[in-house]
């Protein structure tokens, strides 16, 4: 029986109230999330108090929900579990609940927990966050070298670390820190203390003016740095690193020894969108000659013109562009494709209709691309988008498939690409959400029919055209 099912059966009768505990003893994973407790009845918008402004919240309601959540978790943690492999706690709690949280974590540690997730952040669109002085202090003193060495995955969100000694986490493979105050000294300590670390995720971690990831014995393969506001330099010396994702202000990258780094994702913040493109046009290909997959967020060029001849991306096989500007034209990105002679997959994710094309001249046909698959999302079938797609038809020698999605795809580092949910993401009522879904489906079908009619006669023989 899952935790969600146990919660549901516990309210049926007095008998079931105790039977579910017996069932839970067999579980090796505890997901103590308010959404599990409240199921579909829980929405973050229920805390808003619009009488006092759009960003105000109902403090009394929040306190009551916290009380219910703490009581629920207390009941769950009274069960005598033989082993707890995975423990996840997720609700907006602060240091005033430290004693209870310490007790829960202590139980998990005693039961030899391997995957530990403590997420005390505001959920989803919660518009308020506590100051650092109100954050819960992660209880590092509960771990011995024996119990700490069992932990393979540690994820902390909206906590403080204190004088954390990572030496007891010698077997740690996956470390994810979000909304944590941390500096370079701390990072150097846990990199040297966790020799088996393969994945490091830093999100909204303040006080990182510079970031250095280095160590000859590092096993690190995956590095993600999101909105940490590094202002000067990110220096990476990690021979086993294969994937890097960065989102934030433009920053100097120094790649010292990264022979296996093949997958790179760079998103600069909205006011600096042209910087990512400028870097791609300049040093990126020489910095990372082994790169096979590149994902860039690009916007206004701000005077940056893509030259017709670019440095060669000799090993690039996949190029993903998230194009968020209203003012650029798809022709401008053709030189990027031309600079990657072995490119197999091209993805263009559009966020505004590309409706004008009179400024940039369409390049002449020259069948030279070896693209096998093309993905276009946010496609609205404007004349410019149709003409651009037909150009790709004519100039791809071995094209096998083109996938067109007439709905915008959004991206974040946790989910990858996803679609907006009218109900949960916008907080619409069910009726309004259902109406929005129907209207979007009608518009999507109309665009698909229009695009199919204009493209099907130009589709090369053997190429598959898919609308998703």
In a domain, 336, yes or no: yes
Confidence of residue 125 (pLDDT cuts 50, 70, 90): very low
Examine residue 314 and state whether it is found in any structural domain, yes or no. yes
**Contact yes or no for 180/156 (Cβ under 8 A):** yes
Task: Kindly tell me if the per-residue pLDDT of 355 is higher than 60.
Answer: no
**243-248 and 210-214: which strand pairing?**
unpaired
Q: Return the H-helix or E-strand segment holding 118.
A: strand 115-119
Phi, psi at 433, each rounded to 5°: -65, -45
Helices of type H across 111-255: 145-148, 184-193
Could you report the per-residue pLDDT of 316-332, keeping only the tens digit for each? 999 999 988 655 578 88
In this structure, is residue 112 part of a structural domain? no
- Is 139 contained in some domain? no
Contact of 30 with 84, CB cutoff 8 Å: yes
The gap between the terminal CA atoms of the chain, to the nearest Å, is 36
394 falls within a domain: yes
Number of domains forming the structure of the chain: 1
Q: Which residues contact 207 (CB under 8 A, 6 or more apart)?
A: 181, 182, 183
- Whats the size of the chain, residue-wise? 468
Which residue segment(s) compose the domain that 412 sits in?
282-468
Report pLDDT digits (tens) over 409-434: 999 999 999 888 755 555 566 677 77
| Domain presence at residue 310 | yes
Q: In this structure, is residue 184 part of a structural domain?
A: no
pTM listed for this prediction = 0.89
CA dihedral in degrees (278, 282, 284, 290; nearest 10)?
Answer: 140
What pLDDT does 207 receive?
79
Instruction: Examine residue 289 and state whether it is found in any structural domain, yes or no.
Output: yes
Rounded to 5 degrees, what angle do the CA atoms 55, 56, 61 make?
Answer: 135
CA separation, residue 27 to residues 2, 82, 89, 117, 328 (Å)? 8, 9, 16, 17, 54
Model pLDDT, residue 251: 87
């Amino acid at each position: 029986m899952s935790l969600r099912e146990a919660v549901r059966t516990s309210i049926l009768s007095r008998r079931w109230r105790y039977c579910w505990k017996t069932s839970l003893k067999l579980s090796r994973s505890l997901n103590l999330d308010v959404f599990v407790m409240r199921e579909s009845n829980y929405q973050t918008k229920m805390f808003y108090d619009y009488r006092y402004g759009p960003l105000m919240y109902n403090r009394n309601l929040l306190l009551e929900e916290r009380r219910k959540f703490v009581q629920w978790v207390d009941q769950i943690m009274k069960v005598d579990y033989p082993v707890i492999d995975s423990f996840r706690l997720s609700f907006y709690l602060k240091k005033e609940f430290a004693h209870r949280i310490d007790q829960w974590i202590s139980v998990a540690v005693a039961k030899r927990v391997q995957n530990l997730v403590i997420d005390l952040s505001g959920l989803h669109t919660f518009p308020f966050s506590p100051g650092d002085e109100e954050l819960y202090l992660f209880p590092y003193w509960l771990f011995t070298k024996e119990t700490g060495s069992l932990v393979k995955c540690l994820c902390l969100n909206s906590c403080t670390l204190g004088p954390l000694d990572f030496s007891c986490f010698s077997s740690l493979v996956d470390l994810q820190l979000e909304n944590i105050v941390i500096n370079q000294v701390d990072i150097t300590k846990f990199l040297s203390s966790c020799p088996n670390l393969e994945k490091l995720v830093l999100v909204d971690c303040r006080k990182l003016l510079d970031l250095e990831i280095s160590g000859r014995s590092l096993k690190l393969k995956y590095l993600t740095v999101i909105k940490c506001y590094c202002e000067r330099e990110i220096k990476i010396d990690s021979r086993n690193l294969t994937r890097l994702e960065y989102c934030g202000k433009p920053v100097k990258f120094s790649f010292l020894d990264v022979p296996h780094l093949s997958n790179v994702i760079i998103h600069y913040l909205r006011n600096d969108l042209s910087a990512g493109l400028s870097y791609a046009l300049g040093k990126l290909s020489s910095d990372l000659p082994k790169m096979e997959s590149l994902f860039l967020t690009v916007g206004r060029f701000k005077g940056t013109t893509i030259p017709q001849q670019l440095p060669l991306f000799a090993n690039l096989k996949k190029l993903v562009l998230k194009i968020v500007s209203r003012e650029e034209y798809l022709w401008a990105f053709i030189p990027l494709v031309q600079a990657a002679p072995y490119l197999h997959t091209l993805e263009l994710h559009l966020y505004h209709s590309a409706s004008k094309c009179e400024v940039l001249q369409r390049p002449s046909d020259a069948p030279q691309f070896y693209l096998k698959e093309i993905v276009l999302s946010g496609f609205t079938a404007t004349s410019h988008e149709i003409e651009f797609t037909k150009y790709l038809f004519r100039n791809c020698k071995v094209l096998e498939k083109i996938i067109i999605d007439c709905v915008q795809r959004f991206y974040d580092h946790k989910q990858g690409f996803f679609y907006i949910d009218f109900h949960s993401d916008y907080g619409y009522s069910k009726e309004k959400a259902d109406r929005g879904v129907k209207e979007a489906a009608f518009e999507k079908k109309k665009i698909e029919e229009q695009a199919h009619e204009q493209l099907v006669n130009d589709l090369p023989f053997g190429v598959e055209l898919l609308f998703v």
